[in-house]
Amino acid sequence: MRRVVRLDLSSESAQGMEREQARADARRADRALNVEAAWRRARRNKPLREACDTLRAMAGNRERCMYCGDAHGSDIDHFWPKAPYPERMFRWPNMLLCCAECGRIKGTQFPLSDGQAILIDPTVDDPWLFLDFDPQTGNIVPRYDSKREAYILRGEQTVAILQFDRREAMARGYQRTFRRITRRVEAALTQQHPDAAALLHDLGEADDHGLLGWCFDGLGRHVAPFDAPFDELRARHPTVWEACRQGYRQL
Ligand SMILES: [Zn+2]
């Protein structure tokens, strides 16, 4: 899972969505709103086509699902599900790009804590504050808080809701990406003076799944022996390591 920067819609599409939401709200007040029918109708129109294109642009070159980061992002997901929360159905900040499997698994599951979402929103949250990666299995697992001696709730719930620790193809994808990232760092370490910009470019090419966040800022910094090449890079070329750590967020 990678942190995603939300782009703005054109003012024309933003206004079009406002009108759709106002229309849905009015129909709901009259108890005449059919959520699925309203969505299907609006989905064909320009504002939502633009919203889908913008989500694809936000998801990067590979247009990956914003939840699993593994499969192709094929459609708009309502972070707050539209059936129980139709008042957010046409709200741009409530839209993410997701794959068919994450959409099916998530369904209308959406636990709250004090009225706040528990599920990680990659356009708002840094996923690696809540999640961890297990290089041995390739699974995305909840992050463990050693001070509280418990798993972090939002990570635990996100993994459970999206079944991140039970999806074999996804785990294999994460392992492949992790091996590619590690090889890029190892290749840089064979050079006497590795070039930070070149390494950062290579790392960006290798990182299909948003794992650089885990490697540079998440718990990946502390998982021996998997952190060995990263540790070596940090020890021998601290400015290169820091440039990569600062730079991956802009990739
Ligand atoms: Zn997915």
What pTM, to 2 d.p., does this model score? 0.93
pLDDT, one tens digit per residue, over 52-65 is 999 999 998 889 99
Residue 21 has pLDDT above 90, yes or no: yes
Distance from residue 89's CA to the centre of ligand 1 (Å): 20
Distance from residue 65's CA to the centre of ligand 1 (Å): 5
Bridge partners, residue 78, by sequence: 95
- Residue in the structure block whose two tokens are 């206004």: 15
Q: How far is CA 184 from CA 28, 88, 172, in A?
A: 54, 42, 19
Distance from residue 68's CA to the centre of ligand 1 (Å): 4
- Residue in the structure block whose two tokens are 């299909």: 208
Q: Are 122 and 139 in contact (CB under 8 A)?
A: no
Which residues keep their CB under 5 angstroms from ion ligand 1?
65, 67-68, 71, 99, 102
Q: Domain map of the chain by residue range?
A: 11-107, 168-250
pLDDT, one tens digit per residue, over 209-228 is 999 999 998 888 888 777 78
Distance from residue 103's CA to the centre of ligand 1 (Å): 7
